[in-house]
Structure 1
Amino acid sequence: MTNPYGVSDAEFNIIKLQAARRAGLRKEFIKQKTNPFKHASEAGYVFDPALQKFLSMKVTSLEHFQANTRTSLFGFCAIVLPMFTYGYVLWKHRTNRENQIRSGELRYRDRSFKFA
């Protein structure tokens, strides 16, 4: 028999266990946070070693970065290629517009930025 949430019983039990674990961790954090004597040395903040490891990893990620083919291709495709493509499109549009203006194909009143 399925439950009314549209997931199997095994998945529903896993979700319930995760919610119970999350509630227990939240209760423990609130208990530590509201204790006025426990964290006086840390300026009132609860020290979480897992969060500290994560933040330290994020800060020092550049020091541990090693370039390889995949990261180089990603950098080229995500940064260099779009910049050059956009530059080429702008250059092509402006040269076509300039050629239309110089050859008289584009009337003066149809120009954009004619007063600039």
Structure 2
Amino acid sequence: MKSFDPAIQRYQAMRVSTFEHFKPNPKNAGYGLLFTVIPILGYAYLLHFTRSKQEQKYRNGEVAYKDRDFKLI
């Protein structure tokens, strides 16, 4: 026989009704930008910068063909 646990019942009720009580504000938007948008854009910039630099080395002939990464693709 299962017993009723009021703490678990409150926890489940809180989890279900979280979005009913959520109010967007500038602080929430800031957290969204800080933890999602900025890291994604930063990583995209980093990839673009490093790949452009490597491509420029390839085009200038600074890297021999045998030393290139992904030369079989």
TM-score range, shorter chain: 0.7 to 0.9
**2:13 is aligned with what amino acid?**
S
Q: In percent, how many aligned pairs have the same letter? A: 37
User: Which consecutive residues of structure 1, in runs of 5 or more, have no partner in the other structure?
Assistant: 1-43
Q: Deviations over 1:71-107 (max 9, x none)?
A: 1111100000000000110111111111111111111
Q: Give a deviation string over 1:31-87, Cα, whole Å, max 9, x none.
A: xxxxxxxxxxxxx32221221111111122122111112111111000000000001
Letter of the 2:69 counterpart: S
User: In the alignment, what sits opposite 2:26?
Assistant: 69
TM-score (norm 1): 0.58
Q: How is 1:70-85 mapped onto 2 (pairs within 5 angstroms)?
A: 70-85=27-42
Amino acid paired to 1:92: F
Q: Secondary structure at the match of 1:56?
A: helix
- Return the match for 2:4 from 33, 37, 47: 47
For these two proteins, the number of residue pairs brought into alignment is 73
Report which of the two has the higher share of helix: 2
Q: 1:57 corresponds to which residue? A: 14
- Relative contact order, higher structure (CA 8 A, sep 6+): 2
Letter in 2 for 1:72: A
> 2-side partners of 1:107 and 1:60: how far apart?
61
Q: Please tell me whether residue 97 in structure 1 is matched to residue 57 in structure 2.
A: no
Task: Name segments (4+ residues, structure 1) moved above 4 Å.
Answer: none
Whichever of the two has the greater Rg, that structure is 1
